[in-house]
Amino acid sequence: MRKQNRINMALSYLILTIASIIIVYPLLWVVGTSLNPGKSITSDIFPSNPTLMHYFDLFDATQTDYGMWYLNTIKIAVITMVVSVALITLTGYIFSRYRFVGRKNSLILFLVLQMVPQFVAIIAIYVLLNMLDLFDTHLALILLYSGGAIPMNTYLAKGYFDTIPKELDEAARMDGAGHLRIFWQIILPLAKPMVAVIALFNFMAPFNDFILASLVLRSPEKQTLAVGLYNMVSEQFDNNFTLFAAGAVLSAVPIVLLFFAFQRYFVSGLTAGGTKG
């Protein structure tokens, strides 16, 4: 038994080590490229003459509009996160606690919508935004990100709300609490891990998306990081990949900070023993 346990432990550590290398190596390569002098891509993870010049050049208004792209992305990400969390938690709570006509069909519809790739709806999105005159606006992206996050995340929220004992709702209702008060003061505090995950995922969306942002945004002063960095590096005579790598590294900073801020909520079992007796 001890020998078998040691073999299993060794295999577990081996798999984790391989997975860590696969994940960490590209990150180290991007950081190394951002510190490399010049404009070309290098295979050296640790450059011989590292420099922070590219990070300072990003915020030089004569070279790039990186600061503007950064602020645009942060604004869209924060608003998207707040709107998405509000809509998703309310929708998930409704599907978890209430029974109404069309509930089952709505859940099936949400599941089917997740099977359709995003780019399939590009034409429909284009026509709809053109009809509403929302092209080249941040509001259009916020609505698309927030609406697109509802189906999949609703399943996540509903599944978590289902684990919270309904006796809490009944006890609060006997004490005179209304539906909104039960949701806001009792259920939502117990669902902090789920809310943190949804908030993090929806905050990341504007940083990772290129297709929708490139479709909607046309003006240079309204572009997000993904579109701005792509346009910067795709210019015919200015393939500055080291500057692009520096911009990619800095774009991860808000996501990392938000992850560490929410890390304490990424735990399970917060509802254990929460039933009122």
- Please give the average per-residue pLDDT across 79-100, as a whole number: 93
- Two tokens at 46? 């640790």
- The model's pLDDT over 21-57, given as tens digits with 9 standing for 90+, comes to 998 998 888 998 888 887 777 767 788 888 899 899 9
pLDDT of residue 102: 86
For residue 267, what pLDDT is reported? Answer: 62
Tokens describing residue 12: 């577990």
Residue 152 burial (C-beta neighbours within 10 Å; 0-12, 13-18, 19+): middle
HSE on the CB side for 273, CA within 13 Å?
3
Contact (Cβ atoms closer than 8 angstroms) between residue 148 and residue 201 = no
Cα(160)–Cα(96) distance, integer angstroms: 9
Q: Which residue type sits at 15? A: I
Dist. CA 138–CA 78, nearest whole Å: 12
Q: What is the pLDDT of residue 268?
A: 52
Residue 7 CA: distances (Å) to CA of 2, 18, 106, 138? 9, 17, 48, 54
Mean pLDDT of the chain: 87
Distance CA 140, CA 228 (A): 18
Tell me the average pLDDT across 207-223: 90
Instruction: Please give the average per-residue pLDDT across 74-93, as a whole number.
Output: 95
Residues 251 and 274: their CA atoms lie apart, in Å, by 40
- For tokens 């509403």, what's the residue? 132
| Nearest-angstrom CA–CA distance, 176 and 90 | 21
The pLDDT value recorded for residue 274 is 43
In angstroms, the CA 217 to CA 200 distance is 24
Q: What is the arithmetic mean of pLDDT over 91-97?
A: 92
pLDDT 10s digits, 134-159? 999 999 999 999 988 998 899 889 99
Top pLDDT among 114 and 172 is at 172
Residues 6 or more apart whose CB falls under 8 angstroms from that of 215 comprise 122, 125, 126
Percent of the chain with pLDDT over 70: 94
pLDDT-derived band at 273, boundaries 50, 70, 90: very low
pLDDT surpassing 50 at residue 269: no
Instruction: Tell me the two tokens of residue 256.
Output: 């990392």
Q: What is the pLDDT of residues 99-116, one digit of tens each?
A: 888 888 988 888 887 777
- 237: pLDDT strictly greater than 60: no
